[in-house]
């Protein structure tokens, strides 16, 4: 990369990173709404509604995975030179992690509750209809794919494996 194209590369990297994270935030808000609806549908035995919500959640997870790939579609040098420093002091508190975001925390709590509710009902005498169990498995696969892709992006950008959070914990 030459000095002449570095500024444009930096702008593209920051734009993708920010837009991707803004889009993911919106996806989280919708996920949380659907998780609340799905949990209620499960509790009330509204299997068609639950199946529909599980399919929508799977679609959102797949969309979040694609959004993440787009957000990270730039050279790792730009991450280390431009993006990562934008998430460190003085711009953000030491140990910044999106995992502490309110919507992300809510999503994790709600999806775990829903998984538990679906699994618990699957072992009862009446069980859950096959369509619910199938949609639930597909949602779990989409979640697993999302986590795998996130790990791969982290490895590509942070070769030593230390997130900002881990780095901060090691120094304090």
In order, the DSSP letters of 95-111 are: T--GGG-HHHHHHHHHH
So what's the pLDDT on residue 140?
A: 98
Rounded Cα distance between 157 and 80, Å, is: 7
- CB atoms near residue 119 (< 10 Å): 12
DSSP state of 126: S
pLDDT tens-place string over residues 71-116: 999 998 999 899 888 877 776 666 555 555 788 899 999 999 999 9
Any domain includes 64: yes
Higher pLDDT, 166 or 107: 107
Reading the block at residue 125, the tokens are 């005498």
Whether 44 maps to a domain, the answer reads yes
Percent of the chain beyond pLDDT 90?
Answer: 57
Element (H, E) at 133: helix 130-157
pLDDT exceeds 60 at position 166: no
Candidate ranges 2-11, 109-118, 151-160; pick with highest mean pLDDT = 109-118
User: CA nearest 36: which of 60, 53, 23, 55?
Assistant: 53
pLDDT at 156: 87
**pTM for the predicted model, two decimal places:** 0.83
pLDDT of 137 > 80? The answer is: yes
In a domain, 1, yes or no: no
Does residue 60 fall inside a structural domain? yes
113 in a domain, yes or no?
Answer: yes
Closest by CA position to 80, among listed 168, 3, 8, 159: 159
Query: Quick check: is 105 in a domain?
Result: yes
User: Does position 169 have pLDDT exceeding 60, yes or no?
Assistant: no
- Expressed as residue numbers, the domain containing 77 is 6-171
- Asked whether residue 17 is assigned to any structural domain, the reply reads yes
- Count of domains observed in the chain: 1
Beta-carbon contacts of 48 under 8 Å, excluding residues fewer than 6 positions away, are 131
Average pLDDT over residues 9-15: 92
Within-domain flag for 49 = yes
């Amino acid at each position: 990369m030459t000095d002449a194209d570095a500024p444009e590369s930096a702008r593209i990297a920051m734009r993708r990173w920010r837009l991707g994270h803004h889009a993911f935030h919106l996806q989280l808000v919708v996920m949380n709404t659907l998780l609340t609806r799905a949990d209620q549908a499960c509790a009330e035995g509204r299997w068609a509604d639950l199946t529909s919500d599980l399919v929508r959640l799977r679609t959102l997870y797949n969309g979040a995975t694609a959004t993440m790939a787009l957000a990270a579609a730039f050279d790792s040098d730009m991450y280390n030179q431009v993006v990562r420093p934008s998430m460190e002091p003085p711009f953000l508190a030491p140990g910044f992690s999106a995992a502490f975001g309110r919507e992300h925390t809510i999503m994790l709590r709600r999806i775990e509750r829903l998984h538990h509710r679906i699994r618990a009902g699957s072992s009862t005498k009446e069980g859950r209809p096959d369509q619910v169990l199938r949609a639930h498995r597909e949602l779990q696969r989409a979640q697993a794919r999302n986590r795998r892709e996130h790990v791969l992006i982290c490895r590509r950008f942070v070769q030593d494996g230390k997130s900002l959070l881990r780095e901060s914990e090691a120094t304090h």
